[in-house]
Amino acid sequence: MLHFMGVVEDTHDQTNSGRVRVRAFGIHPPRDGQADSEGVPTAHLPWATVLDGTYGLSPIIPSVGDWVFGFFIDGREAQSPIIIGRMPGMNLSFPHGSGEPGEDGYIPPESIHKYGEPELHRYNTGEDADKGQTILQRSYQYNNISQADGQQFDEPPIITPENNLNNRVIQSKNGDNFVVIGDGQDTESGDYMLISHSSGSVFQIDSNGTILMKSFGDTYHSVDGVDSKYVTGSSHTNIQEDYTLKIEKGSGKIFINGDLDIECENFNVNARNQVNLNASVKTNISGGGVGIFSTVDDVNVMANGSMKTKVGNLINRGGFYVAADFGDVHLDSYKMNLFSTSYTKIYSLGTPSLSIQTLPFPDAGHLGVDISSKTSMRLDALATMNINTLGIMGINSGAALGIKSIGTLDIHSTAQLGIGATALLNIDGSLVNIGNLTSVVTGALATTSIAASIAPQIIQKATGTIPNVSVTERAKVVLPPDIPGSRPAQVAITERALPAMTSTMGSGDNLNVDK
């Protein structure tokens, strides 16, 4: 075997076998700058096979300009070269006499840019730290990043090149893509691993075991099986733009042992079936305006304790409005108190009812105001009381009827007045007037008493009609925008809502997540 040392001049092997053309010093005459006929052109050099000691794990083909060492397996025939190694650092100087016109020149023109540069990577020598993606990575190191809990954090710095020949570097042909396995001996960086891409994207494990993964482009995460994540500490995610979550199949569940705080601009929840909210202590809903709208079924509110409703304040006043345009208003209670600091009005237009309702009694054709009691009824006023009708008034009692006045009691009729009794009739007084002219006196007295009884309502009485006391204030419900479902609804709503919440969400139930 004939050993040689030479320089690689061509790596474009058309057979894709990883062969290179090598100009062996002392065997192949150099290329002459004046006439190639006096030397050996690159195209006439034999192809050399590169031995691969990695057995295919990470084969490396020498680049143009690299100095290599090997042997000719065919001896002095020198037609079958084998490369067994590379000579690092040999490109730091030209061969003797090269560079001058007409003289030897072993360095190929396409690799002249390597002249004066060490063969070792910058993460071995610590030189050329301003080259490649290092400047970009350090320039885009984000600090003071806000978290949802109000705290801030800084990105771990990416380790820069240092003079450490103990580092192991696996690099691409041009050295812009590389893997560094750092040895912490006599260095500040300690033991670390670094995978760096020419775009700036990097994966790093520092000496403390802290992992940094930073992408200068898009990042895609795809798993065909189960993706599990376990964090013994806290987990924080800061997203500058939108965030979406879609579960195409199955259900979603969120379990938090502590509190859950959600802050957003608009909060929209769309459920194809039911929405259940359950709190073991209390559920509070607060907003500038609160609207509840049932599109199909009833709205049921139930409390095992008391139900309290308070509206208005000293500034905006406010009122309590209930409208049932095509139905009834029922208030059922063990006892009922209606209290008003100013006045209370009950008013009916008297339109005959067209309802087909039969409970609690058939009400078709009913009109006006009905006040009924199974036992006693009391109408009491500390000031005045006035009962007035433009039509017929009947006062009937199945038993005794007593009409008594501490002051004057006037009974007057502009037409006929009949006073009769099937039994005893008593008319008694200190003065009893019976005659044709007494009606004028009793009529005047009756008019005076009636006028006094309606004095607080004299303004309404002057209009000649009972004012409409109904002030209609419609409930305003702002419907949220439609949220597209991730899959068609599987369950149709066929049952009416029960008075009580029969389904609640506990720790063992699932929470359907759409968006």
Q: The CATH number of the domain where 194 resides is what? A: 3.10.450.190
User: Exposed/middle/buried for 234, CB within 10 Å: 0-12, 13-18, 19+?
Assistant: exposed
Residue 421 lies in a domain: no
Same domain, 255 and 288: yes
* Domain hosting residue 105, numbered range: 2-117
Instruction: Let me know whether 197 and 284 are in one domain.
Output: no
Distance CA 158, CA 139 (A): 10
Number of neighbours of residue 280 by Cβ within 10 angstroms: 7
| For residues 345-353, average pLDDT | 83
pLDDT the model gives residue 231: 93
Task: Please give the single-letter amino acid code of residue 172.
Answer: S
Closest Cα to residue 234, out of 310, 306, 151, 337?
A: 151
Which segment, 27-36, 168-177, 180-189, 277-286, is predicted with the most confidence on average? 277-286
512 pLDDT higher than 50: no
State pTM to two decimals.
0.60
CA dist 39 and 104 (Å) reads: 10
Q: Which two tokens stand for residue 453?
A: 């009884």
The average confidence (pLDDT) of the chain is 78
CA distances from 220 to 69, 76, 211, 254 (A): 44, 57, 18, 24
Residues 82 and 32 in one domain: yes
Q: Name residue 58's amino acid.
A: S
Residue 462 pLDDT exceeds 60: no
Burial label for 24, CB within 10 Å (0-12, 13-18, 19+), is buried
Q: Report the domain count for the chain.
A: 3
**pLDDT(213) > 70:** yes
Is 354 domain-assigned? no
Distance, CA of 492 to CA of 494 (rounded, Å): 6
Is the pLDDT reported for residue 81 higher than 90? yes
Same domain, 256 and 284: yes
Least confident range of 15-29, 175-189, 218-232: 175-189
- Contact of 393 with 450, CB cutoff 8 Å: no
Distance of CA 51 to the CA centre of its chain: 58
pLDDT at 487 over 60: no
Of residues 86, 90, 85, the one with CA closest to residue 115: 90
Rounded to whole angstroms, the Cα distance separating 319 from 310 reads 9
- The pLDDT of residue 454: 59
Let me know if 375 is exposed, middle or buried by CB neighbors in 10 A (0-12, 13-18, 19+).
Answer: exposed
Domain holding 89: CATH number? Answer: 2.40.50.260
C-alpha span between 429 and 432 (Å, rounded): 6
C-alpha distance across the termini of the chain, in Å: 73
The per-residue pLDDT for 498 is 38
206 and 248 belong to one structural domain: no
SS3 call for 195 = strand
How do residues 140-194 score in pLDDT, each as one tens digit? 888 998 888 888 989 999 988 888 877 888 888 778 899 999 887 667 788 899 9
Omega within 30 of 0 (cis) for the link into 88:
no
Whether the Cβ atoms of residue 4 and residue 26 lie closer than 8 Å to each other: yes
Residue environment code for 262-275, b if the CB has 16+ CB neighbours within 10 A, otherwise e: eeeeeeeeeeeeee
State the average pLDDT over residues 392-412. Answer: 75
Question: 33 to each of 38, 63, 93, 101, 309, how far by Cα in Å?
Answer: 10, 22, 19, 6, 102
Quick: pLDDT tens for 413-453: 777 777 777 777 777 777 777 766 666 666 676 667 666 66
Is 34 a residue whose pLDDT tops 50? no
Kindly state the average pLDDT of the residues 109-113.
Answer: 62
Residues 81 and 11 occupy one common structural domain: yes
Strand partners, 8: 22
319 pLDDT band, cuts 50/70/90, is confident
Residues 110 and 151 in one domain: no
Domain's final residue, options 74, 93, 117:
117
User: How far apart are the C-alpha atoms of 379 and 267, rounded to whole Å?
Assistant: 52
Closest alpha carbon to 356 in 346, 365, 344: 365
Q: Is the domain of 111 the same as that of 17?
A: yes
- Is 394 within the bounds of a domain? no
Instruction: Specify if 34 maps to a domain.
Output: yes
Are 99 and 131 in a shared domain? Answer: no
Write down the pLDDT at residue 371.
83
- pLDDT range class, residue 491, cuts 50, 70, 90: very low
More confident residue, 170 or 472: 170
CA 215, 220, 225: angle at the middle one, nearest 5? Answer: 135
